[in-house]
Structure 1
Amino acid sequence: MPLPSATPDGDGVRVDGLAGWVGSAALRELVARFGGRWPAGDLGAVLAGLDDFSAGCWDFRAGRERPEAREPDLDPATVDLVHAAADALGLVRARPPAQTRYAHLVVLGGLAHACLRRVAYAAHLLRTGVEVTGEVAVLGSFRPLSGAERRTLAAAGVTGCDTEVDVLDAAVRRTFAAPAPEADDGLDAGHPHHSWSSRTYRPTGTPPVRVLAAPSSEPQRRRAHTADTQRFWAEHAQLARHDEVLLVTAPIYVPFQHCDALRTLAVPYGCEIDTVGVDPTLPDLTRLPEPTLTPGRYLQEIRSAIRSLRTLHTTLR
């Protein structure tokens, strides 16, 4: 299924494709397989119903970080259906960027292995013909690393990292051969949910690379999430109407993070968003660690996409 898209239209932005993704046969079959009835009503009611349904059936995190989510016990036929639905909904296969020229390339942070892979893929895109006229932005937060992440980094030869943004910074320095930032700014507020940082590198032969750690928009409740990092970067980058932004993440997160970007970047700034997942078959990436993607992981991120679509739809009303 094609992802929703946003196009500047007069003084506003036209967003198309929400109903197509939500009402797809793949999602309908998946809901039925787990005993659900398709919600009645308009698109808003359908999204609310799917949000409630997925909370009961596909929320394996229960407020925890993704690596701590439990894995459901599913029969082989259901596993096959989950994989087929995830593929149809755009969570499995990587696709190349739609264009060769963008105003900005934005790399979304994540777990340690993802930080390494996504920065490496961004560098690959720049080497193989993607032109960026503005900057490369690498977005993360001060989320502390887990023990498993530290072991992953050690195996990849990366040391001295305590937080997600530390990994992103190390990945930029290593991948782009940029030993020191040209500009270093930020605020240490005494708590990671309130603090922020910005480091700008100027590697030879590439656009400027900014590594940004965002504060949380709800610091009393949680760390910064994807939408926080996108919004915080947009304020720093001074986005212009009609800017074309290429986002890099993992294929499994493309639908939900794309819809977050439509809400936080396309709608308020009039930008056009293209979101791609890292291609795991590239030789540059085969040496970097990659997690096992299970049926539970796919169901969890289908739920994430539903929630992101619901929030986007609410924003547009």
Structure 2
Amino acid sequence: MRRADETPSTDSVVERITAEVGAWVCSAPLRGLVARFGGTWPDGDLTELLRFLDDFSAAHWDFRGGRERPDAREPDLDPGTVELVHAAATALGLVRPVPPARPAYAHLVVLGGLAHACLRRVAYAAHLLDGGLGVTGEVAVLGSFRPLSDREHRMLAEAGVHGCVTEVDALDAAVRLAFGVSAPAVEDGVDADHPHHSWSSRTYLPAGLPPVRVLAAPSSEPHRRRAHTADTQRFWAGHVRLAPDDAVLLVTAPIYVPFQHCDALRTLAVPYGCGIDTVGVDPGLVDLDRLPEPTLSPGRYLQEIRSAIRSMRALHHELTLG
């Protein structure tokens, strides 16, 4: 499930997206995982199935417990279960990267993450542009004011990057490195004396390339949490004024493609009618060797299968409301 090329307000597109969600959650690999962890596949419609999978994955595959991803515990799984998890993750689209489906897009959006991911994803975006990918609008690099951990600081120092305090600082440093720019042409933002309420925007103008905007969004629930992926996407869409005919390419890591693609369908395609493709960074690229991806464990894959389930449930809810 990768694309939304038609206007999602039409009945046919709602039906297509619903069918794709149903195919993913009813697939044999996911059924096999549920059975492996002691679950009994329920009767009922897609709404009931998504509710069951959300509850089941919360009980069996939520290793974060409200913590950030690096702080999640790793489950003790037997070799047969580990093999099944890897096979299911591959079949469900969390492992292998795929290239962009189009030669050109209106906008290229890079989603933030942990510090090493910020560097890798921005570098991959620059690689795509160097390889001839067309972008008629802007490159948007989206993050938040999440403080970096000690582990992230060490990783950035190993990559020669210093002085970063937050995720958006790491994204900004990644843009300067990957695009060879030193100072933004335009800056804007609001410092609300609290990171959940504040926002910032820096736009760079690299020679011969589209503008590159580094955006930190405020939280839509500032009393509860920091800004998450959906917040950053909505905030950017309001700034760039997406049009129904726009095609948007999102760059993330392969493990996050299913859940972040569904978030983008819900927050961008449904309200704005734009097309969405979502791709993961290709780890085999030679120019990313200096930015190695941490080893992805079975627990990480199960956690992000849960993230995809939750994102699909939210997307299905949005579609049924429409």
Q: TM-score range by the shorter chain?
A: over 0.9
Match of 1:31, SS?
helix
CA distance in 1 between counterparts of 2:8 and 2:313 reads: 22
Alpha-carbon distance between aligned partners in 2 of 1:146 and 1:90, rounded to the nearest angstrom: 29
Change (3 A) 1:136 1:76: same
Aligned to 2:7: 8
Q: Distance in 2 between matches of 1:240 and 1:12?
A: 19
Q: Which residue is 2:311 aligned to? A: 308
Tell me: CA distance 1:9–1:74, structure 2 relative to 1, closer, same or farther (3 Å): closer
Offset of 1:289 from its aligned partner?
3.1
1:97-246 superposed matches below 5 A: 97-246=100-249
Q: SS state of the match for residue 6, structure 2?
A: strand
Q: Which amino acid aligns with 1:269?
A: Y
Deviation of 1:7 (Å): 2.2
**By how many angstroms is 1:39 displaced?**
2.2
Which residue identity is paired with 1:282? L
Paired position in structure 2 for 1:42: 45
CA deviation after TM superposition for structure 1 residue 21, in Å: 0.8
Partner Cα distance (1:107, 1:45) in 2: 33
- Helix, strand or coil at the partner of 1:245: strand
Higher mean C-alpha deviation, range 111-120 or range 285-294? 285-294
Secondary structure of 2:13 counterpart: strand
Aligned residue identity for 1:222: R
Counterpart residue type for residue 129 of structure 1? G
1:250 aligns with 2:239: no
Instruction: Count matched residues.
Output: 316
Cα contact 1:106–1:136 (8 A) shared by 2: yes
Note if contact 2:8-2:269 (Cα within 8 Å) is conserved in structure 1.
no
1:37-66 Cα shifts (integer Å, max 9, x gaps): 112211010000000000000000000000
CA contact 2:2–2:278 (8 Å) conserved in 1: no
SS in structure 2 of the partner of residue 160 of structure 1 = coil
Report whether the alignment pairs 1:55 with 2:54.
Answer: no
Residues in 1 aligned to 2:78 and 2:128: alpha-carbon distance in whole angstroms: 39
1:67 paired residue among 46, 70, 77: 70
Could you say if the C-alpha distance between residues 12 and 207 of structure 1 is closer, same or farther in structure 2, counting changes exceeding 3 Å? farther
Q: Secondary structure at the match of 2:155?
A: helix
Give, in angstroms, the shift of residue 6 of structure 1: 5.5
Checking the alignment, whether the CA contact within 8 Å between 2:93 and 2:254 is kept in structure 1 is: yes
Distance 1:53 1:134, change over 3 A: same
Q: How far, CA to CA, are the matches of 1:121 and 1:4 in structure 2?
A: 20
Question: Could you state the TM-score of these two structures normalised by the residue count of structure 2?
Answer: 0.96
Runs of 4 or more consecutive aligned structure 1 residues displaced over 2 Å after TM superposition = 2-7, 9-13
- Partner residue in 1 for 2:270: 267
**Residues 124-175 of structure 1: per-residue CA shift (max 9 Å, x gap):** 0001121000000000000000000000000000001000000000110111
3-state SS in 1 of match to 2:40: coil
Tell whether the 8 Å contact from 2:100 to 2:279 is kept in structure 1 after alignment: yes
2:263 & 2:291 partners in 1: Cα distance? 27
Give CA-to-partner distance per residue, 1:2-39, whole Å, 9 cap, x none.
44646216767714211111111110011101000112
Identify if the C-alpha distance between structure 1 residues 4 and 79 changes in structure 2 by more than 3 Å, giving closer, same or farther.
Answer: farther
The one of 297, 311, 316 equivalent to 1:294 is 297
Are the equivalent residues in 2 in contact too, given 1:12–1:267 (CA < 8 A)? no
Partner Cα separation in structure 2 for residue 218 and residue 73 of structure 1: 34
SS at match of 1:8: coil
In 2, distance between residues paired with 1:138 and 1:280? 19
Residue 284 (structure 1) aligned with residue 273 (structure 2): no
Distance 1:260 1:125 in 2: 23
Q: Where does the alignment leave 5 or more consecutive residues of structure 2 unmatched?
A: none
- Equivalent-residue separation in structure 2 for 1:4 and 1:211 (angstroms): 25
Alignment partner of 1:14: what SS? helix
CA distance in 1, matches of 2:266, 2:35: 29
Q: Distance in 1 between matches of 2:183 and 2:30?
A: 47
CA distance in 2, matches of 1:158, 1:189: 27
Report the TM-score when normalising by structure 1: 0.98
C-alpha distance in structure 2 between counterparts of 1:181 and 1:40, whole Å? 55
Identical-residue share of aligned pairs (%)? 74
